[in-house]
Amino acid sequence: MFVKVFEQILDSSIANNYEIRHFFEDMLKLADTTGAVDMTPEAISRRINLPLEKVVVFLKELGEPDPASRSPKEQGRRILPLSGERSWGWFIVNYEHYRSIRDQEARRAYNREAQRKWRDSNQPRRKRKSKRIDVLKMRHGPSPGEPSPEQLNGERHE
């Protein structure tokens, strides 16, 4: 699994603390296709090689409202608990939004390329108007049984 991280994360309110930004980027990498990180803090700590104490602090901070966030969704929170019945597992709030932007961009690029290929393959073949003259016919006339140019045009010569 991979995730596309947009450059604007460097200008977000969590960029003020590089550790929390780095941790959030790690959470993005750990998320499934729906934005769920279904792991305990201990598992996250082991997986990203960060002390458990910092993981707990960063999870708490990312789950709090952020009035400086550009996203008003969930009052600027970056993560929400997956379930109220357990103390672990989080959902990344804007994960699907950013994932769909990537998909839309990829879809647009694919459609552009497919359209270009279709246009290239379906261009009408332009026939050049040939001004080539059959020199033999000019010198010797039509072959036996072949109509003359005058006959083809419906002209009669008597």
Q: Identify the residue with better confidence: 72 or 65.
A: 65
Residue 115 resides in a domain: no
37 touches 72 (CB < 8 A): no
Angle, vertex CA 84, rays to CA 21 and CA 23, nearest 5: 10
Residue 121 resides in a domain: no
Amino acid at 128: R
Which domain does 34 fall in, by range?
Answer: 7-94
What secondary structure does DSSP assign to 19-48, as a single string?
HHHHHHHHHHHH--TTSEE---HHHHHHHH
5 touches 94 (CB < 8 A): no
Q: Which two tokens stand for residue 45?
A: 């700590």
Residue 67 resides in a domain: yes
Q: Identify the residue with better confidence: 74 or 81.
A: 81
Helices then strands, counting H and E runs in the chain, come out as 6, 3
Q: With the C-alpha atoms ordered 100, 83, 16, 53, is the resulting torsion angle positive or negative?
A: negative
Q: Count of CB atoms within 10 A of residue 93's CB?
A: 20
For position 38, which CATH number holds? 1.10.10
Please give the Cα distance from 103 to 139 (Å, whole number).
68
- Looking at 25-34, 58-67, 113-122, which range is the least confident one? 113-122
Please give the Cα distance from 46 to 14 (Å, whole number).
23
Number of domains within the chain: 1
Question: pTM of this prediction?
Answer: 0.60
Nearest partner of 93 among 67, 68, 64, judged by Cα: 64
Q: Which runs of consecutive H residues, i.e. helices, occur in the chain?
A: 18-30, 41-48, 52-62, 95-121, 135-140, 149-152
Distance of CA 96 to the CA centre of its chain: 14
Classify 2 as helix, strand or coil. Answer: coil
Residue 79 resides in a domain: yes
**pLDDT tens-digit readout, 7-51:** 676 667 777 888 998 898 899 899 998 889 999 999 999 999 999
Residue 106 resides in a domain: no
**pLDDT tens-digit readout, 98-111:** 777 666 677 778 78
Give the per-residue pLDDT at 114.
83
